[in-house]
Amino acid sequence: MADYQLARLNDLLATVQQANPFYARKLQGQALPLVRLDQLRELPFTTKSELSAGAIPNGQAFYAANRTFDLDRYVRFHQTSGTQGRPLAVLDTADDWRWWIDTWQYVLDAAEVTAQDRALLAFSFGPFIGFWSAHDALMARGTLIVPCGGLSTRGRLEMIETSRATVVFCTPTYALRMAEAADESGISLRASSVERLVVAGEPGGSLPAVRQRIESAWGARVIDHSGATEVGPWGFGDREGRGLRVIESEFIAELLAPGTSQPAPPGSVAELVLTSLGRVGAPVIRYRTGDLVRASRPTSGTCRFLFLEGGILGRTDDMLVIRGVNVFPSSIEAILREFPSVAEFRMTASRQGSLDQLAIEVEDAEGQPERVAQQLERRLGLRIDVRTVPMGSLPRFEAKSRRFVDRRKNVNEG
């Protein structure tokens, strides 16, 4: 695998050093080709702020700065979600898009999708790349596709029955929202034709409490997937739902100690750094994803790809330090999802002086926020303010959720 990755990497570097202005500057003075794969560590990192800071204005769209070719070579336009800043437009050539489709096949294999399946895509077809790439990957596999853009949640539930869909593609948040809407309408998802859900776009598919809640409501198996507009479809969930595997035939993964540029100790929480090997038109080399993971190298089994236990554990920019304890929103969500009566929630982070504060609103059918606060204190060692709000008052989401509201950056600490 290392030899294969090195050959692919050197082919990519040879192209971008000549044709890509962004990386020509970053790689100036570097001795290429690389002789060993570990020499990748000598190359500079790439960050999202770099891609955004050098973005080329085009009306309202800001093209990422790492574009290799002139615009007429590109056939796909997609945007980041904007959850971590201004949406960024990323372009793909026809060859790049073929790489997306081919790499997605690992995800479809993990979900055991075949040409006999009927795949319902429960999302709107906007500029978000994830489900466009899923659509084309399914089409390449010969699977019957049921697009549901523009339909209401109730309309999508009816479409499941009409189409006899066997697999649903959506975010974890929307899987739960559809289950909530089905319950309100007296529809039994457990009795439906759906056998599997492929979830992506946010943590959840590898969080045991979230996964169990989805699988219980749907009577179907959940398969996690992770990717990014800037990087590509880099991970798929294992069969047992314990975490994600990095598709190392198409990506080189590195693990950094959070907040540093140094390798993380084995088995510790680390920031995931990825290099995509097949996307020449919009390459990323040593891209700091900001995703926090705990990785291990399998020594047995049929798949030896790098394993990320628990999937994405959190993000470097979302971590809170509350009275000396590091807390991630995904850790809190995992606890809240253990309460069947909690339909929805919202976390709000603020800052008093130099100290992080956290408050949680919950829609709790039992109206007992104290027991939620007690469970958080037992599990995290922290007393967190939890209060109930009326049922149905918090927003619902189709794509990435906005359950974590971070007001710390809006506070002037000076």
* Residue 246 and residue 284 share a domain: yes
- Domain-terminating residue out of 270, 292, 315: 315
Tell whether 268 and 173 lie within a shared domain: yes
**Cα(328)–Cα(319) distance, integer angstroms:** 5
Give the contacts of 169 (CB within 8 A, at least 6 positions apart): 119, 120, 121, 122, 123, 131, 134, 197, 198, 199, 200
Do 350 and 290 share a structural domain? no
Number of domains in the chain: 2
- How many Cα atoms within 13 Å fall on the side-chain side of residue 241? 21
Question: Residue 396: what are its φ and ψ, rounded to 5°?
Answer: -105, 155
- Pair (330, 207) in one structural domain: no
Domain's final residue, options 289, 315, 341? 315
The verdict on 399 and 283 lying in the same domain is no
Last residue of a domain, one of 265, 282, 315: 315
Regarding whether 336 and 258 lie in a shared domain, the answer is no
Which residue segment(s) compose the domain that 207 sits in? 1-315
Is residue 153 domain-shared with residue 78, that is, in the same domain? yes
Residue 333, CB half-sphere, CA atoms under 13 Å: how many?
Answer: 28
| pLDDT tens per residue across all 414 residues of the chain | 999 999 999 999 999 999 999 999 999 999 999 999 999 999 999 999 899 876 666 655 588 999 999 999 999 999 886 555 567 889 999 999 999 999 999 999 999 999 999 999 998 778 889 889 999 999 999 999 999 988 999 999 999 999 999 999 998 989 999 999 999 999 999 999 999 999 998 878 888 888 999 999 999 999 999 999 999 999 999 888 889 999 999 999 999 998 899 999 999 999 999 999 999 999 999 999 999 999 999 988 889 999 999 999 888 877 777 777 778 787 888 899 889 899 999 999 888 776 778 899 999 999 999 999 999 988 888 889 999 999 999 988 766 667 888 887 654 433
CATH of residue 385's domain is 3.30.300.30
212 and 344 both lie in a single domain: no
Same domain, yes or no: 239 and 277: yes
Alpha-carbon distances of 211 from 215, 336, 386, rounded to whole Å: 6, 13, 23
Specify whether 334 is located in the same domain as 195.
no
Pair 216, 81 in one domain: yes
Give the chain's length. 414
Residues 239 and 285 in one domain: yes
d(C-alpha 337, C-alpha 215), whole Å: 13
